Amino acid sequence: MSEQHENNPLHGVKLKQIVQRLVEYYGWNKLGERIDIRCFNYDPSVNSCLKFLRKTPWARKKVEDLYVDTFVTHPES
């Protein structure tokens, strides 16, 4: 079972942590430019984004991919 987790860089990271860290790193404006979804561009808040991302798999995947690319694949950025 631990082998599955070794291959999953998001294991143990909650969606709220992902959103908060991306907002802290990029800010809402840059995040909205990188991933063009309404919850990042119009009256953004962590809670509204979480509601949207939990219901929208394609958007959640984009956010998770950006997190992995920013903090796991290229952590020195």
Domain that holds residue 21: 17-73
Is residue 3 included in any domain, yes or no? Answer: no
Is residue 61 included in any domain, yes or no? Answer: yes
Give the model confidence (pLDDT) of 41-76 as tens digits: 999 999 999 999 999 999 999 999 999 999 988 766
pLDDT at 8: 82
Q: With CA atoms as reference, report the closest residue to 67 among 28, 29, 33, 31.
A: 31
The rounded distance, in Å, linking the Cα atoms of 68 and 74 is 8
Which CATH number do you get for residue 39? 1.10.720.30
Give the model confidence (pLDDT) of 1-35 as tens digits: 445 566 788 888 999 999 999 999 999 999 999 99
Is residue 8 included in any domain, yes or no? Answer: no
pLDDT at 1: 45
pLDDT at 10: 85
Instruction: Write a three-state SS string for 8-64.
Output: CCCCCCCHHHHHHHHHHHHHHHHHHHHCCCHHHHCCCCHHHHHHHHHHCHHHHHHHH
